[in-house]
Amino acid sequence: MAVLEDEPAGAVLWQPRDDSLYLGRLSVLPQFRQRGIAGALVEWVEAQARRLGKPAVTLGVRVSLPENFELFSRRGFVEISRSAHPGWTEPTMIEMRKQLV
């Protein structure tokens, strides 16, 4: 969790996987956006991946949120696949990966 001005400002969940560390549910409260908190949380997850000996960080981005795709693309993540949630015929999710080593 990120704390700014003595208040919770953002959070991220992460989970070790066989070949990567999965980054999920990155969020920053609206009043704290545009201050570098999301980037700092991503960097923290990348540091945890290195500490655990994971060669990459992976994540999923909703197709309907192109600004999130752009955020992670700017941070070095690349698209590796697209998939559809159950009941959908078109892709709804983009899986991304960043190699750390």
Average pLDDT over residues 16-30: 96
pLDDT at site 5: 83
Phi-psi group of 76: left, alpha or beta (phi > 0 → left; psi -120 to 50 → alpha; rest → beta): left
Place of tokens 């700092």: 40
Pair 93, 63: CB distance under 8 Å: yes
Q: How far is the C-alpha of 67 from the C-alpha of 77, rounded, in Å?
A: 14
Q: pLDDT-based confidence at 4, cuts 50/70/90?
A: confident
Fold entry, domain 2-99: Aminopeptidase (3.40.630)
Q: Is 59 helix (H, G, I), strand (E, B) or coil?
A: strand
pLDDT surpassing 90 at residue 18 = yes
The predicted-structure confidence for 40-81, as pLDDT tens digits, reads as follows: 999 999 999 999 999 999 999 999 999 999 999 999 999 999
pTM value? 0.92
pLDDT at site 91: 97
Torsion sign over Cα 101, 40, 11, 95: negative
Question: What number of other Cβ atoms are within 10 A of residue 31's Cβ?
Answer: 10
